[in-house]
Homo-oligomer: A and B are copies of this chain.
Amino acid sequence: MFEDMARNLTDWLSGKGDESTVVISSRVRLARNVAGCVFPGAAGTDTRKKIIEYFESAVSRSDMLSRGTIVRSSDLSPLDRDFLVERHLMSPNFVAGDSSRALYIGEDERVSIMVNEEDHLRIQALAPGRDSDAPYKVAGEFDNEIGSYLEFDYDSDFGFLTACPTNVGTGMRASVLIHLPGLVITKEIDRVITKITKMGVAVRGFYGEGTDVLGNLFQVSNQNTLGVSEEDTMKLVMNVTDSIIKEEVHARELMMDEALEQIEDKIWRAYGILKFARVLTSEEVMNLLSALRLGVAMKIIDFVDIALINEILLLSQPAHLQKYYEEEMSSDRRDAVRAEMVREKLK
């Protein structure tokens, strides 16, 4: 499954959108639960199957929803699942051995809905660049559309009820994926993270909670969902994002002024290695692409575009690489094929 999908760059990695030299993508995720049904973690198989059926029925009855596709987790191989996680269409947690989970993928992959992850529904909308509007609007449209078929668990005091108390209220998590090589290289990143954490946002590595920071990619998202409005949450995350962008741009200017040669060297070496290496791990590619992305943003390298960097980043990941080449590969084989793919793309 998904071999064709692997051949296309997903919209949120198109390199378009505002502030694309710093912000990769913006995302809004809404947690929703069906009223009268036990949350997935505590629910039996019957309840969970019922939730999928409710959702499928809503999809089939809605013109808007029926434009997307539903896949049952039981139809997904481990490789398929890894592929969808790499594509940010589902969370790493969304791994199941039974049929009681499902994933909805909307047109252009701008929306995905996980059924029976931590909550009954997790509606997620993605857009490239810094986007305070589209993901929020799109997620809201899907929320409304589904809400016209299903009744959500909603408390007039608290707001939306969710499996984890940290999501109660708006059930909304707004986040941006942001590239901060300047702050990492100038060693300002810890100061900035400390500062913005105090403003009510969380900062994580590329793949969400608890993961290492690879490729200087950080995910910034709101901490609170209770007693705040959706609009204020969006405003907070975007304000913090703008403040981080400012700090990052400043750090890059500082490097230009004070260590241009060293930065140019780092960037060109990364390019040279990507262009000629015969063995590349996905971690190394992420770190080399980080330097290349910085080089493009700083106009040191003018013949590579952000979309190509994003494409290589996506295809470098293990499941994408295997789907792209339609071959199951050992880790060693992947490292060689990955290097081949990178060379091909940079030709």
Residues of A within 8 A of B (CB): 261-262, 264-265, 268-269, 271-279, 336, 339
Give A246 to B269 CA distance when docked, in angstroms.
Answer: 35
A264 to B275 alpha-carbon distance, docked (Å): 13
Q: Do residues B277 and A272 form an inter-chain contact, with CB atoms below 8 A?
A: yes
Return the contact of A279 from the options B262, B272, B274 (Cβ within 8 A).
B262
Copy number of this protein in the oligomer?
2
State the CA gap A271–B278 with chains docked (Å): 12
**Which residue of B268, B275, B277, B339 is within 8 Å of A277 (Cβ)?**
B268
Q: Which of A265, A271, A274, A277 has the most CB of B within 10 A?
A: A265
Secondary structure of the A side of the interface?
Answer: helix
Residues of B within 8 A of A271 (CB): 272, 276
Closest Cβ of chain B to A270, distance in Å, is 9
Complex Cα gap A264–B335 (Å): 13
Q: Is B276 touching A268 in the complex (CB atoms < 8 A)?
A: yes
Q: How far is the CA of A261 from the CA of B331 in the complex (A)?
A: 14
Residue of B nearest to A300 (CB): B278
Can you list 24 A-B contacts (CB < 8 A)?
A261-B278, A261-B279, A261-B336, A262-B279, A265-B277, A265-B278, A265-B279, A265-B339, A268-B276, A268-B277, A268-B278, A269-B272, A269-B273, A269-B277, A269-B278, A271-B272, A271-B276, A272-B273, A272-B274, A272-B275, A272-B276, A272-B277, A273-B273, A275-B276
Bound: A336/B275 CA distance, A: 21
Q: How far is the CA of A276 from the CA of B277 in the complex (A)?
A: 13
For the complex formed, measure the closest distance between the CB of A201 and the CB atoms of chain B, giving whole angstroms. 36
CA distance A7 to B151 in the complex (A): 83
CA distance A152 to B271 in the complex (A): 60
Return chain B residues, CB-CB under 8 Å to A339: 265
Residues of chain B within 8 A (CB-CB) of A279 are: 261-262, 265
Measured between beta carbons, the chain B residues less than 8 angstroms from A268 are: 276-278
A261-B279 Cα distance, complex, nearest whole Å? 7
A116 CB to nearest chain B CB (Å): 43
CA of A279 to CA of B271 in the docked complex: distance in angstroms? 14
Does the CB pair A269–B276 fall under 8 Å? yes
Min C-beta distance of A339 to chain B, whole Å:
7
Q: Roughly how many angstroms separate A322 CA and B335 CA in the complex, as a whole number?
A: 41
Q: Considering the chains assembled together, what is the distance between the CA atoms of A41 and B70 in angstroms?
A: 91
Residues on B with beta carbons closer than 8 Å to the beta carbon of A274:
272
Having A261-B336, A272-B275, one finds 15 other A-B pairs with CB under 8 Å, namely A264-B278, A265-B277, A265-B278, A265-B279, A268-B276, A268-B278, A269-B276, A269-B277, A269-B278, A272-B272, A272-B273, A272-B274, A272-B276, A272-B277, A273-B273
**Residues of chain B with a CB closer than 8 A to A336's CB:** 261
* Cα distance A345–B215 in the bound complex, in angstroms: 32
- In the complex, which residues of chain B have a beta carbon less than 8 angstroms from the beta carbon of A265? 277-279, 339
Which chain B residue has the least Cβ–Cβ distance from A268?
Answer: B276
Closest 8 CB pairs of A and B: A272-B272, A272-B276, A265-B278, A268-B276, A265-B279, A264-B278, A272-B273, A269-B277
